[in-house]
Amino acid sequence: MMARTSTAPATPVLSVRDLSINFGGVRAVQNVSFDIASGCIYSVIGPNGAGKTTLFNLITGVYVPTAGEILLDGQPVQGQPPHRLARRGVARTFQNLQVCLNMTALENVMVGAHLRLDRNVLKAAFRWPSLRRADQALHQEAAELMRFVGLEHALEARADAMSYGALKRLEIARALAMKPRLLFLDEPAAGLNPRETLEIDELIRKVAVSGVTVVLVEHDMKMVMSLSDRILVLDYGKKLAEGTAAEIRQDPAVIAAYLGAGAAGETP
């Protein structure tokens, strides 16, 4: 994990330069630039419609930018499709769960491991019968990841019988099975109760300590403020501010646009 000092390492794991995308007349992301240091927890916050998910979709290859650059370890990757970025160590979870509900929890994580090789969940799922027989090693690996996310008791549980909080952690285990260096989490605490939110908070810290750089979109400000090494604030697609939690909390423009007077530390 990155030493938590203010001295930036030489090459950021991710650099975004003047990134923009337009959807017809909507300028969803406009000239956004930032760097993410290896091993840190980096959060993206902002009001609804600010462009946070669109930014994730750009960086993970779902959208091709209208303009700008995305550099992974200094190499331009903008426009590359998600499966290629996945092979370069970029994994993500989604705002809406993308778990195969008719499989067991463990099988879902194993599908994640196969996504290292295959383009999408569907293709991996089709190859499933032969892969299942073939791969004891992946089985072990998936079981270890289930333990890592605190689901060791649910290896054989059917996904559709698991709680929402457990499924959120299962999705993180599946993303980790892709052995990412960068993990993008889109609203991991959305819909969770306070206990489940705390569990996700602890899990995100564990992921970062294991050396995976975490990029987070989250509306739970208490969680964002306590977890993040740095925070990017978007508003109407533009970068409003970027800095440590202490800096963001006191930024007048951020307070006016998003946090509200005296509100930093709570969910807006």
Contact positions vs ligand ATP (CB under 6 A): 23, 26, 28, 46, 48-54
Query: What is the number of other CB atoms lying within 10 angstroms of the CB of residue 140?
Result: 10
Q: How far is the CB of 48 from ligand ATP (least distance, A)?
A: 4
Nearer to ligand ATP, 54 or 93 (CB): 54
The two beta strands, 213-217 and 41-45, are parallel
Nearer to ligand ATP, 53 or 98 (CB): 53
Q: How far is the CB of 18 from ligand ATP (least distance, A)?
A: 18
Nearer to ligand ATP, 50 or 215 (CB): 50
Alpha helices in 177-216 (DSSP H): 194-209
Nearer to ligand ATP, 29 or 173 (CB): 29
Q: Distance between CA 268 and CA 131 in Å, rounded?
A: 46
Q: How far is the CB of 244 from ligand ATP (least distance, A)?
A: 21
Spatial neighbors of 197 by CB under 8 A, at least 6 apart, are 189, 220, 223
Query: What is the number of other CB atoms lying within 10 angstroms of the CB of residue 143?
Result: 16
Q: How far is the CB of 149 from ligand ATP (least distance, A)?
A: 24
Q: How far is the CB of 239 from ligand ATP (least distance, A)?
A: 13
Q: How far is CA 254 from CA 16, 35, 204, 226, 236, in A?
A: 21, 19, 25, 17, 12
Nearer to ligand ATP, 141 or 235 (CB): 235
Q: How far is the CB of 79 from ligand ATP (least distance, A)?
A: 17
Q: Distance between CA 103 and CA 108 in Å, rounded?
A: 6
Nearer to ligand ATP, 93 or 108 (CB): 93
Q: Distance between CA 158 and CA 44 in Å, rounded?
A: 33
- 3-state SS class at 144: helix
Q: Which two three-digit tokens encode residue 204?
A: 């995100």
